[in-house]
Amino acid sequence: MECNLTTAFIMLIIFVSTLIRATFGFGNAMLAMPLLALFLDMRTVTPLVAVVALTIAVMILAGHWRDVHPESAWRLIVSTLAGMPFGLLLLMAASEVSLKILLSCLLILFSLNSLAGPKWPKLKSNRWAFGFGFVAGILLSALNTNGPVVVIFGALRKWKPAMLRATLQGYFLPTAALVVAVHGFGGLLTREVLGYYIGSLPLVVAAVLLGNRLHGRIPAYRYDQAVFVLLLSVGVFLLASTIPGLL
């Protein structure tokens, strides 16, 4: 009974986090990782979340690849790869706690200003993608948190909801595929991980299909507000999870 209840909670977490990602284009790992860690060890959680994330990206792109902004996607991917070595250097030079506090405060301030303050000016050139992607690469290797920076770039480019969600998947797909491959070569895709993944696959498919419907029914202005609220939540959650490290 305890095992069944635990499994039910794991499946629920995967479903809800997938639904958020399918609706808005990001946010599943930030929710799923700490909650799944309450029931599973990190050697199981990390590859499980990675393979689910890869599945989500493939499913969304399969039906919405035409909405991807390719000129921005490839720039973001290339510059992210370029920024990753600098993230490792930054992680060695500064504490992880201080980096998380800095990132969370930036997300909170940006989101609050976007929700309550004047509109940010539009970035008119795709060349800005190189800078944002470079910062995302630094944060990816330093904190494993690259998504919010790319979301901010899309918001400043004033992309429509469909383009933002699809381009995020085009950006996340190669990263997720690389992570899954590394986990596979490292022997982390164990029978337990694959068991949870296969068991959750019907829920993942259902969540993506439902997320597609929800995404299509959210008005553009409401979608923008929801994205900033989600970014704000990520910042608050990251800050709250980091504070105990100061004690």
For the segment 156-185, what is each residue's pLDDT rounded down to a tens digit? 898 888 999 999 999 989 888 888 888 888
Alpha helices per DSSP H over 40-117: 42-64, 70-93, 96-116
* Joined tokens for residue 221: 């202005």
Measured CA to CA, the distance from residue 180 to residue 188 in angstroms comes to: 9
Rounded Cα–Cα distance for residues 182 and 186 (Å): 6
Distance in angstroms (rounded) separating the CA atoms of residues 226 and 96? 28
Placement of tokens 């498919």 in the chain:
205
Give the CA distances from residue 207 to residues 18, 37, 119, in Å, rounded to whole numbers and listed in that order.
6, 21, 32
Close Cβ partners of 207 (under 8 Å, ≥ 6 residues apart):
15, 16, 18, 19, 22
**CA pair distance 36, 149, nearest whole angstrom:** 24
Say if CB 31 and CB 230 are below 8 A apart.
Answer: no
Residue identified by tokens 């929700």 is: 115
Q: What are phi and psi of 187, to 5 degrees?
A: 75, 20
What is the per-residue pLDDT for 37? 83
pLDDT tens track, the chain, 247 positions: 446 888 999 999 999 999 999 998 888 887 888 888 888 887 888 889 889 999 999 999 998 999 999 999 999 999 998 988 888 788 778 777 787 788 888 888 888 887 886 677 888 888 899 999 999 888 887 776 788 889 889 988 988 889 999 999 999 898 888 888 888 888 889 999 999 999 999 999 999 999 999 998 888 878 888 888 888 888 888 888 777 654 4
Measured at the CA of 132, the angle between CA 127 and CA 136, to 5 degrees, comes to: 145
Q: What is the pLDDT of residues 102-135, one digit of tens each?
A: 888 888 888 888 788 667 788 888 889 999 999 9
Query: Domain segments of the chain: what residues?
Result: 2-246
